[in-house]
Chains A and B, each alone.
Chain A
Amino acid sequence: MDGAATVEPLLCAGFTCWISRVSRSVFAEQISSNMEDLDWLATTGVRHQRVVSELVQRGAVLPARFGTVFHTEESLTHNISARKRALLKSLLHVADADEWGIKVFMEQQPQPVVAAASSGSDYLRRKAVALRHQVEQRKRPRTPSAEVQKLAAALEQIALETAPGGKVSGGQAGLEWQVSILLPRHRQEQFNAIIERFSRLWQNQRRIEFTGPWPPYSFVKV
Chain B
Amino acid sequence: MKNQNVITLAGADSESDISLLDILDHVLNAGVVIQGSMVISLAGVDLIYLGLSAVLTSVETALKHVEKE
Check if B55 sits within 8 Å of A38, measured CB to CB.
yes
Q: Which residues of A contact B19 (CB under 8 A)?
A: 211
The reply on B66 being an interface residue by CB < 8 A is no
User: With A36-B47, A53-B3 known to touch, is A207 a contact of B10 (CB < 8 Å)?
Assistant: yes
Q: Which residues of B contact A171 (CB under 8 A)?
A: 49, 52-53, 56-57
Q: Place the interface of chain B in its size category.
A: 35 or more
Q: Which residues of B contact A71 (CB under 8 A)?
A: 35-36
Check if B5 sits within 8 Å of A169, measured CB to CB.
no
Across the A-B interface, give the 10 residue pairs with the lowest CB-CB distance, nearest first.
Answer: A166-B25, A171-B53, A169-B21, A65-B33, A218-B29, A168-B24, A35-B44, A68-B33, A167-B49, A166-B29
User: With A212-B6, A212-B8 known to touch, is A65 a contact of B30 (CB < 8 Å)?
Assistant: yes
Check if B25 sits within 8 Å of A168, measured CB to CB.
yes
User: With A169-B21, A210-B10 known to touch, is A75 a contact of B36 (CB < 8 Å)?
Assistant: yes
Check if B35 sits within 8 Å of A41, measured CB to CB.
no
Check if A66 sits within 8 Å of B5, measured CB to CB.
no
Question: Which residues does B use to contact A, with CB under 8 Å?
Answer: 1-12, 18-37, 40-41, 44-49, 51-53, 55-57, 60, 68
Nearest-neighbor residue (CB-CB) of B53 within chain A: A171
For this complex, 15 residue pairs linking A to B, each with C-beta atoms less than 8 Å apart, are A36-B47, A38-B52, A54-B4, A56-B4, A66-B27, A101-B25, A167-B25, A167-B48, A169-B18, A180-B26, A207-B10, A209-B18, A212-B5, A217-B26, A218-B30
The reply on A208 being an interface residue by CB < 8 A is yes
Nearest-neighbor residue (CB-CB) of B50 within chain A: A171
Q: Which residues of B contact A165 (CB under 8 A)?
A: 25, 29
Q: Place the interface of chain A in its size category.
A: 35 or more
User: With A31-B34, A169-B22, A180-B29 known to touch, is A36 a contact of B51 (CB < 8 Å)?
Assistant: yes
Question: Which residues does A use to contact B, with CB under 8 Å?
Answer: 28, 31-32, 35-36, 38, 41-42, 45-46, 48-50, 53-54, 56-57, 63-71, 75, 79, 99, 101, 114, 163, 165-173, 180, 199, 207-215, 217-218, 220
Q: Which residues of A contact B20 (CB under 8 A)?
A: 42, 46
Q: How far is it, in angstroms, between the C-alpha of A35 and the C-alpha of B19 when the chains are bound?
A: 19
Q: Which residues of A contact B21 (CB under 8 A)?
A: 168-169, 172
Q: Which residues of A contact B56 (CB under 8 A)?
A: 171-173
Q: Which residues of A contact B7 (CB under 8 A)?
A: 211-212
- Nearest CB on A from B9, distance (A): 6
Q: How far is it, in angstroms, between the C-alpha of A209 and the C-alpha of B14 when the chains are bound?
A: 13
- Excluding A211-B9, A215-B26, A217-B29, 16 further A-B contacts by CB distance (< 8 Å) are A32-B41, A35-B45, A42-B20, A46-B20, A63-B30, A65-B30, A66-B32, A69-B35, A71-B35, A167-B48, A170-B49, A172-B56, A209-B12, A211-B8, A211-B22, A213-B5
